[in-house]
Amino acid sequence: MLNLAFIARILLGLIFFVFGLNGFLQFMPMPELSEEGAALMGALAASG
pTM for this entry? 0.60
Query: Can you tell me the distance from the alpha carbon of 9 to that of 17, in angstroms, rounded to the nearest whole number?
Result: 12
Domain region containing 12: 2-47
Report how far residue 37's alpha carbon sits from residue 47's, in angstroms, rounded to the nearest whole number: 15
Looking at the 3D structure of the chain, how many domains does it have?
A: 1
For residues 28 and 31, what is the distance between their CA atoms, to the nearest angstrom? Answer: 9
Q: What is the DSSP track for 1-48? A: -HHHHHHHHHHHHHHHHHHHHHHHH--SPPPPP-HHHHHHHHHHHHH-
Banded pLDDT at 4 (limits 50, 70, 90):
very high
pLDDT, tens digit, 9 for 90 and up, residues 22-42: 999 999 998 999 999 999 999
Mean pLDDT of the chain: 94
